[in-house]
Amino acid sequence: MKSGYVALIGRPNSGKSTLLNNLLGQKVSITSPKPQTTRIPIQAVYEDERGQIIFIDTPGIFGKVNDPVSKKINPIAEKTLKEGVSVIVYIVDHSRERDIEENKILGIIRKMDAPKILAINKTDIKKPSFLPHYKFLEEEFNKTVYISALYKSNLNYLLDAIFEFLPEGEQIVDNSGRPTPALNMDSKTFLSEIIREKAFLFLRKELPYTIMTEVDEIKERANNSTYIKARIITSSDRYRRMIIGENGRMVKEIGMAARKELETATNKKIYLDLTVESNPHWFDVL
């Protein structure tokens, strides 16, 4: 059999998390149209008769890093790529013009010896297209695959390419009996990520840079229900008021969306006790 670690790398919003979720057939990494959605490398297992892949969804690499969160995210992504990766999958969004972020990622990838696969994503989008800006990259990569992560197009060809370059090896992890293929997230972390995803979808563009979420308590109750106590933490009282919204409307909408997804995923009644607090130094825990 074949086995190894496969890193998914790309600029923010290139489709890495959507790709991972659809390769696995279930959600392990949150998605949104906003940058900084993925802040920690997510490790998850894919298995078939050919072997085992440990996918690593890395945070998107920013070209310019001005806020304290981005300054921590870039080194996390770069460090991950240096830790025994067997294959690199570089995901490119052809509908966006090439810029400094792509150049920075290329500089990192060129220093690595692992086989490299170029995945041209979002082929479902016909216009705009900057594909000529990326065609030259095919000469630097071992293989190029054209995919649509959102519509699951050609993902089988991507898996074929990964297994082609993956080394022979033993099973890395025993994935039997696990409720989710995610390896490095406990229940509290996964729940907090779902809440953060919904906050990103409902809040204004600048707020994702200033928030994190924490789950403090999970309690199983009678009648197949679960109580979850969680917090959205932001950097100032001004943002706290925006997240709460007039008469608490915004935080209620965030909580309702998170609760509905969790109920669908767990097939349980969810009681989500969601509050908002401010802490100007919350990013110190990243």
* Pair (161, 243) in one structural domain: no
In a domain, 254, yes or no: yes
CATH of the domain at 242: 3.30.300.20
pLDDT score recorded for residue 161: 97
Banded pLDDT at 81 (limits 50, 70, 90): low
For the segment 153-163, the average pLDDT, to the nearest whole number, is 97
* Pair (30, 141) in one structural domain: yes
In a domain, 21, yes or no: yes
Helix (H) or strand (E) holding 109, with range, is helix 100-109
* Pair (33, 155) in one structural domain: yes
For the segment 133-147, the average pLDDT, to the nearest whole number, is 93
* Pair (83, 220) in one structural domain: no
- Which is higher by pLDDT, 185 or 88? 88
Banded pLDDT at 146 (limits 50, 70, 90): very high
* Pair (85, 193) in one structural domain: no
Indicate the residue among 165, 199, 226 that finishes a domain. Answer: 165
- CA separation for the pair 75, 62 (Å, rounded): 10
For the segment 215-237, the average pLDDT, to the nearest whole number, is 92
Per the structure, the complete domain to which residue 245 belongs is given by 187-285
Which residues are within 8 A (CB) of 215 and not within 5 positions of it... i.e. 6 or more apart?
A: 187, 188, 189, 191, 192, 195, 228, 229, 230
pLDDT score recorded for residue 29: 73
- pLDDT, tens digit (0-9, with 9 covering 90-100), for 212-224: 899 999 999 988 8
- pLDDT, tens digit (0-9, with 9 covering 90-100), for 24-67: 888 777 665 555 555 566 788 898 999 999 998 876 554 455 55
pLDDT score recorded for residue 179: 47
In a domain, 68, yes or no: yes
In a domain, 178, yes or no: no
pLDDT score recorded for residue 62: 46
For the segment 182-205, the average pLDDT, to the nearest whole number, is 80
HEC-encoded secondary structure of 124-144: CCCCCCCHHHCHHHHHHCCEE
CATH of the domain at 55: 3.40.50.300
In a domain, 174, yes or no: no
Count of domains for the chain:
2
